[in-house]
């Protein structure tokens, strides 16, 4: 029996080939072994059809055509991936059975199922679950094959349902608001819009922040055993905090202090505790993106792209779009081979201890993927570009840290209890600097959030008496929250549930991520979050100001215009419940899509004719090639052509360098041609026809805000 194994990605396909005994040769993405052919997809090879592929009338956006929805959303090969689809279909024809090697999650299930459905496959299909590309794990997985039955297909169907529902949201809400506001390019999305909401809300909290004074009670010193003088800080009980965080009235603290001072001598309890601070866990993609943004200023998209290069071109790291920070036990047993290889490549040496079993090695917490770590790939590190090397080195060092000792500390804590809280003094002593002798992780990654030291003091644990010295009532002012950076934004995308007020929705979001360490009530996925942020920037809803990401007036206006069901994380929670029902056969794709339409249809009756949103401010310093014939702004040169700087406000006008019409007459748009066309609406060009060179007139026209051309005979027009 000849089996065809279809993996989700090239690196998994090649890893499977290495795990199967016998020689092999790869030709055009296909590896043949005895009785086995191995091939792979490149992520999703199919896409949902555009509305105008069902009916040409949908090319023009009209409110009367909404809502746009179809009984059966068709899947077709995505652009240049058609050849790959045809290749896999031919391999299906030649095999006796298929082994489905998609990632072990709902998206991975659907990704291979959609290919089999498109090919109208009738061959038997087995399912293999591989969440670790080590040879031992792959061999073990192939001894545990199961039927790709209806129960598993239903899991993939839930991912298809989400894709269709996202598409229905995007098409209908985006067209509705683009038409209502009379400007193209207004986009709406289940993840995009709540992400915009995070930024808008944060900016408005900052803009509207009113400073409030609050107070703290410090005791300059308390005289203890053998004239030891220790400063104390009062920690009030939570019910005394006016706004949940602070005491806003000095009188409250003065009254508490007076009550405490009624006793001349205070009882002080001194405790000691020793603690260990372990290294931060290895990276998942979100943590890596945040780290690289904080340390080097890399955008989320840049880090994502670099990890793709490290994985695909150099096989230097494991799967890069992981949402997990944990590793399998197999990785622990392989570390004594991997780490020497990595340290030699980095030309660095650390006193790693292979007996240290970091908390990251926990099979229970490995989801469809494991943490991003370096591999045994023998690629030339000098071939990496400087920024690629930075990403690679950070991944390596966070893995190396797992085999270095923890920081060891001893804390002496003195406390004076009262009915309203306690006076506390803390002194911390570093006993062993552990991994920090070699690495200084970013503060946010350290996980070390101990109390602030009150100053160095040491006392044996026990009970003492103390006389309180001078009271100091410190006046402070509240600060607004900090502006988002791409690093802090992606962290909040992984834990947006903390901002949700509805307890039911909050609980659903957290339940959705149960078992996923590093995701706690999230929106988006590791693979899509950087794309979401790039879309917000491209649409002009947000802008970058240094490392900060700020909402524009357009972003604020548009966000506040959107209905509640779109601009909050509620939709993700509600959809997840329906998707779980789809997996169990209690619902279908139509159930989820109907829930979208039910929410959307009432908005068709809204009158938005009076609503206006701000334009994106245009601050483009590039030299003008000419004036836009559509909107009157300037045209500037970019890599692909000559475009209007007003594109973020919906102007589509551009003169493309590789325009198909121009290529048809053997021409490429250059700066001189663009300047002439924009000024006079025509220019002369030399054209080769039937071996004869002649001069023609290239005339510029405008149709639906876009450039169109026609060619006129030069002689006849003189």
By annotation, the residues acting in catalysis are 319
β-bridge partners, 361: 327
Structure tokens at 288: 């890596």
- Which DSSP category does 374 fall into? B
Taking the C-alpha atoms of residue 573 and residue 204, their distance in angstroms, rounded to an integer, is: 25
Distance of CA 612 to the CA centre of its chain: 31
Helix (H, G, I), strand (E, B) or coil at 468: strand
- Which DSSP category does 326 fall into? -
**DSSP string covering 305-320:** HHHHHHHHTT--BS-S
Helices (H) and strands (E) in the chain, counts: 22, 25
**Percentage helix, strand, coil for the chain under 3-state DSSP, each rounded to 5:** 40, 20, 35
β-bridge partners, 700: 709
List, in order, residues 6 or more apart from 495 with CB less than 8 Å away. Answer: 519, 520, 521, 522
Taking the C-alpha atoms of residue 452 and residue 446, their distance in angstroms, rounded to an integer, is: 16
- CB count within 10 Å of CB 674 equals 21
Taking the C-alpha atoms of residue 435 and residue 431, their distance in angstroms, rounded to an integer, is: 13
Give me the phi and psi of 449, to 5 degrees please: -120, 50
β-bridge partners, 467: 223
Taking the C-alpha atoms of residue 288 and residue 311, their distance in angstroms, rounded to an integer, is: 15
Q: Are 49 and 73 in contact, with CB atoms under 8 Å apart?
A: yes
Distance of CA 462 to the CA centre of its chain: 50
Nearest to 46 by CA among 113, 98, 126, 124: 113
**At how many degrees (to 10) do helices 150-180 and 589-600 cross?**
20
Phi-psi region of 28 (alpha: psi -120 to 50; beta: other; left: phi over 0): left
Taking the C-alpha atoms of residue 439 and residue 23, their distance in angstroms, rounded to an integer, is: 43
Phi-psi region of 666 (alpha: psi -120 to 50; beta: other; left: phi over 0): left
Taking the C-alpha atoms of residue 640 and residue 658, their distance in angstroms, rounded to an integer, is: 7
């Amino acid at each position: 029996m000849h089996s065809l194994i279809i993996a989700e990605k090239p690196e998994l396909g090649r890893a499977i080939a290495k795990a199967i005994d016998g020689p092999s040769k790869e030709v055009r993405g296909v590896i043949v072994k005895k009785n086995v052919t191995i091939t792979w997809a490149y992520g999703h090879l199919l896409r949902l059809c555009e509305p105008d592929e069902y009916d040409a009338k949908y090319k023009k956006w009209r409110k009367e055509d909404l809502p746009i929805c179809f009984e059966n959303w068709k899947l077709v090969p995505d652009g240049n991936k058609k050849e790959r689809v045809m290749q896999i279909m031919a391999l299906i024809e030649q095999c006796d059975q298929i082994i489905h090697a998609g990632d072990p999650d709902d998206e991975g299930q659907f990704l291979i199922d959609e290919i089999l459905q498109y090919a109208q496959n009738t061959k038997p299909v087995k399912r293999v679950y591989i969440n670790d590309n080590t040879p031992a794990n792959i061999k073990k997985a192939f001894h545990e094959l199961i039927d790709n039955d209806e129960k598993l297909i239903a899991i993939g169907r839930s991912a298809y349902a989400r894709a269709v529902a996202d598409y229905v949201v995007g098409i209908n809400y985006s067209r509705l608001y683009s038409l209502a506001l009379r400007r193209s390019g207004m986009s709406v999305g289940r993840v995009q819009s709540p992400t915009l909401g995070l930024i808008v809300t944060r900016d408005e909290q900052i803009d509207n922040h009113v400073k409030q004074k609050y107070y703290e009670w410090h005791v300059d010193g308390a005289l203890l055993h053998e004239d030891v003088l220790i400063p104390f800080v009062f920690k009030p009980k939570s019910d005394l905090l006016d706004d949940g965080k602070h005491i806003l009235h000095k009188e409250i603290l003065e009254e508490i202090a007076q009550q405490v001072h009624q006793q001349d001598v205070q009882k002080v309890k001194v405790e000691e505790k020793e603690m260990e601070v372990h290294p931060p866990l290895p990276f998942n993609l979100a943590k890596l993106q945040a780290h690289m943004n904080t340390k080097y200023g890399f955008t989320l998209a840049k880090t994502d792209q670099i990890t793709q290069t490290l994985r695909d071109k150099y096989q230097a790291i494991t799967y890069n779009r992981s949402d997990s920070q944990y590793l399998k036990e197999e990785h622990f047993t392989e570390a004594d081979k991997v780490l020497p290889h990595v340290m030699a490549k980095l030309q660095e040496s650390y006193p790693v201890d292979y007996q240290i079993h970091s908390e990251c090695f926990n099979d229970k917490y490995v989801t469809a993927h494991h943490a991003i770590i370096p591999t045994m790939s023998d690629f030339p590190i000098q071939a990496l570009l400087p920024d690629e090397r930075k990403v690679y080195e950070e991944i390596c060092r966070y893995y190396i840290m797992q085999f270095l000792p923890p920081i060891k500390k001893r804390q002496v804590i003195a406390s004076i209890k009262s009915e309203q809280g306690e006076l506390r003094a803390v002194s911390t002593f570093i006993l062993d600097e552990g991994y920090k002798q070699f690495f200084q992780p970013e503060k946010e990654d350290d996980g070390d959030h101990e109390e602030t030291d009150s100053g160095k003091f040491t006392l044996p644990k026990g009970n003492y008496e103390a006389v309180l010295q001078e009271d100091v009532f410190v006046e402070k002012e509240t600060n607004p929250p900090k502006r988002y950076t791409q690093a802090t934004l992606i962290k909040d995308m992984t834990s947006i549930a903390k901002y949700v007020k509805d307890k039911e929705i909050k609980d659903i979001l957290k339940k959705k991520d149960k078992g996923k360490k590093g995701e706690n009530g999230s929106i988006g996925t590791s693979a899509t979050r950087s794309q979401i942020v790039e879309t917000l920037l491209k649409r002009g809803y947000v802008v970058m100001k240094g490392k900060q990401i700020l909402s524009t007036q357009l972003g604020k206006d548009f966000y506040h215009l959107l209905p509640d069901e779109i601009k909050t994380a509620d939709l993700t929670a509600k959809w997840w419940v329906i998707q779980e029902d789809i997996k169990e056969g209690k619902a279908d794709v139509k159930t989820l899509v109907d829930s979208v339409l039910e929410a959307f249809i009432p908005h068709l009756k809204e009158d938005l004719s009076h609503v206006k949103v701000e334009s994106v401010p245009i601050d483009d310093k590039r030299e003008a090639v000419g004036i836009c014939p559509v909107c009157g702004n300037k045209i500037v040169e970019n890599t692909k052509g000559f475009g209007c700087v007003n594109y973020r406000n919906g102007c589509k006008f551009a003169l493309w360098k590789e325009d198909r019409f121009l290529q048809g007459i053997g021409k490429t748009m250059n700066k001189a041609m663009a300047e002439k066309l924009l000024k006079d609406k025509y220019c002369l060009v030399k054209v080769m026809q039937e071996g004869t060179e002649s001069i023609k007139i290239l005339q510029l026209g405008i149709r639906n805000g876009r450039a169109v051309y026609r060619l006129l005979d030069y002689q006849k027009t003189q």
